[in-house]
Amino acid sequence: MKPDAFIALIAAGAQESTRATKVPASFTIAQGALESAWGESGLAKAAMNLFGVKADKSWSGATVTIPTREFVKATGQWITVPALWRKYSSWSECLTDHAKFFIVNKRYAPAFQHTDNAEQFALAVAAAGYATDPQYAAKVIAVIRSHNLTQYDKA
């Protein structure tokens, strides 16, 4: 899917989520774009999971097992491992759970000091360990900037 089409599909839901949770819409859109390859990843297609949220022991919903690449800091290597992912019935359900995930996981509390700055929010989320990729925050921020996503934080 083209970036403009993906943004058009989730922007309103991201903005609604912002109003309810304070997670910046531009961050939500950029993270969804990055994690789902603009809605085209296997995880997005098989599980409506746009954000790469794994199914840990707190998850009671449907799941799917799909391999993922993880960066191992100790070795400086990327490896592929099977992972259990949350499965949703729609992108709307995924968007709702995405914001809830940040709220209920206390390790992300520092990000909520930056609800008025999506780039700082992304840095805090990455610092809290959302992804193993050491360039994660930079990648999310690049998507925010290259697609002028902060415009969705103002609506």
40 counts as catalytic: no
Identify the active-site residue in 4, 16, 35, 70: 70
133 counts as catalytic: no
Identify the active-site residue in 16, 93, 97, 133: 97
How far apart CA 143 and CA 129 sit, in angstroms, is 19
How far apart CA 114 and CA 110 sit, in angstroms, is 8
How far apart CA 153 and CA 45 sit, in angstroms, is 27
Instruction: Give the residue carrying structure tokens 């993270």.
Output: 31
3-state class (DSSP) for residue 123? helix
For residues 27 and 71, is the Cβ–Cβ distance under 8 A? no
How far apart CA 6 and CA 135 sit, in angstroms, is 23
Half-sphere exposure of 102 (CA within 13 A, CB side): 30
The residues that are catalytic are 70, 97
